[in-house]
């Protein structure tokens, strides 16, 4: 039971996020507020926050996280949040490459938590708190979690080859992140034009309209950010990944506490 509880918490974070992004497509248009997620964003943020704290508490109780791991999560969250202050060419910033490399080094669960916490910290630092914040947190958390899965598959490659894979991953996730984030407001765009969503469209029409909307509004911006992500990972990947992996190895082996077997 102690093994499955953290997994359930992480699964609920993912499911709550998917539901928060997609529910506007299944409710009547008249039920949606005039401003995108103006009413439910605090609830989404609260639910995600409780699940994050629950996941960390369960990991600590299970023994798969300890004081050093929690402290590391805090330090990396603050570091990534501060990196968002950097204005880089193409409108990019430094938060993404830190989350990608740390996720690859420490695994999918740590990467998911780091993405969520780093975006929350960055919002406080930059004053970017608004109804978009829980959706930014979820999207960045998914980036960190998927980076952890990639890291598990590439950790046995030569360092240069692993960094090359992460460069491609970071480049591609810039587009994925932008496409995900557009969903937080696109269903609320009023209009019957060729780029707007309205009830009654088929799945094919929805995908076609959304792709057209994404190309017109976000593709160029995300392409510039993708180059920034790839360059930062290429330049820093070898030393940072080596250092973080060394620290991750020092945190292992992890002790899992189990109940004493009954003698009855």
**How far apart (Å, rounded) are the C-alpha atoms in residues 264 and 113?**
41
Per-residue confidence (pLDDT) for residue 4, from 0 to 100: 72
Q: How many C-beta neighbours within 10 Å does residue 218 have?
A: 16
Domain ranges of the chain: 4-250
**How far apart (Å, rounded) are the C-alpha atoms in residues 79 and 97?**
11
Which of 104, 222, 231 has the alpha carbon at shortest distance from 174?
A: 222
pTM: 0.89
Look at the block and give the residue holding tokens 């740590």. Answer: 110
Per-residue confidence (pLDDT) for residue 255, from 0 to 100: 40
Look at the block and give the residue holding tokens 């984030």. Answer: 181
**How far apart (Å, rounded) are the C-alpha atoms in residues 17 and 181?**
12
Per-residue confidence (pLDDT) for residue 252, from 0 to 100: 61
Q: SS3 breakdown of the chain: % helix, strand, coil, rounded to 5?
A: 75, 0, 25
Q: How many C-beta neighbours within 10 Å does residue 152 have?
A: 12
**How far apart (Å, rounded) are the C-alpha atoms in residues 195 and 147?**
32
Q: pLDDT by residue for the chain (264 residues), tens digit each?
A: 556 778 899 999 999 999 999 988 887 665 566 667 878 899 999 999 999 999 999 988 888 888 889 999 999 999 999 988 877 766 667 899 999 999 999 999 999 999 999 999 999 988 888 899 999 999 999 999 999 999 999 999 999 999 999 999 999 999 999 999 999 999 887 666 788 888 788 889 999 999 999 999 999 889 988 999 999 999 999 999 999 998 888 776 444 444 445 444
- Length of the chain equals 264
What CATH number should be reported for the domain whose range is 4-250? Answer: 1.10.1760.20
Per-residue confidence (pLDDT) for residue 191, from 0 to 100: 66
């Amino acid at each position: 039971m102690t093994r499955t509880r953290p997994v359930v918490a992480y699964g609920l974070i993912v499911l709550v996020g998917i539901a928060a992004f997609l529910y506007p497509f299944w409710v009547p248009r008249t039920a949606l507020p005039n401003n995108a997620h103006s009413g439910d964003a605090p609830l989404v943020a609260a639910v995600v926050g409780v699940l994050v704290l629950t996941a960390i508490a369960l990991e600590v109780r299970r023994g798969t996280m300890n004081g050093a791991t929690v402290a590391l999560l805090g330090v990396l969250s603050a570091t990534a949040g501060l990196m968002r202050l950097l204005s880089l060419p193409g409108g990019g910033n430094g938060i993404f490459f830190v989350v990608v490399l740390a996720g690859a080094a420490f695994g999918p669960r740590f990467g998911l938590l780091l993405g969520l916490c780093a975006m929350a910290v960055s919002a406080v630092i930059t004053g970017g708190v608004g109804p978009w914040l829980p959706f930014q947190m979820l999207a960045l958390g998914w980036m960190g979690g998927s980076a952890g899965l990639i890291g598990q598959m590439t950790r046995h490659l030569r360092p240069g080859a692993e960094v090359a894979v992460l460069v491609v991953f970071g480049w591609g996730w810039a587009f994925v992140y932008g496409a995900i984030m557009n969903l937080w407001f696109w269903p609320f765009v009023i209009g019957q034009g060729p780029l707007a969503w309205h009830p009654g469209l088929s799945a094919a029409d929805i995908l076609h309209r959304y792709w057209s909307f994404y190309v017109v509004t976000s593709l160029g911006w995300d392409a510039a950010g993708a180059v920034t992500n790839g360059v930062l990972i290429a330049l820093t990947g070898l030393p940072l990944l080596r250092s973080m992996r060394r620290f991750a190895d020092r945190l292992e082996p992890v002790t899992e506490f189990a109940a004493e077997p009954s003698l009855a």
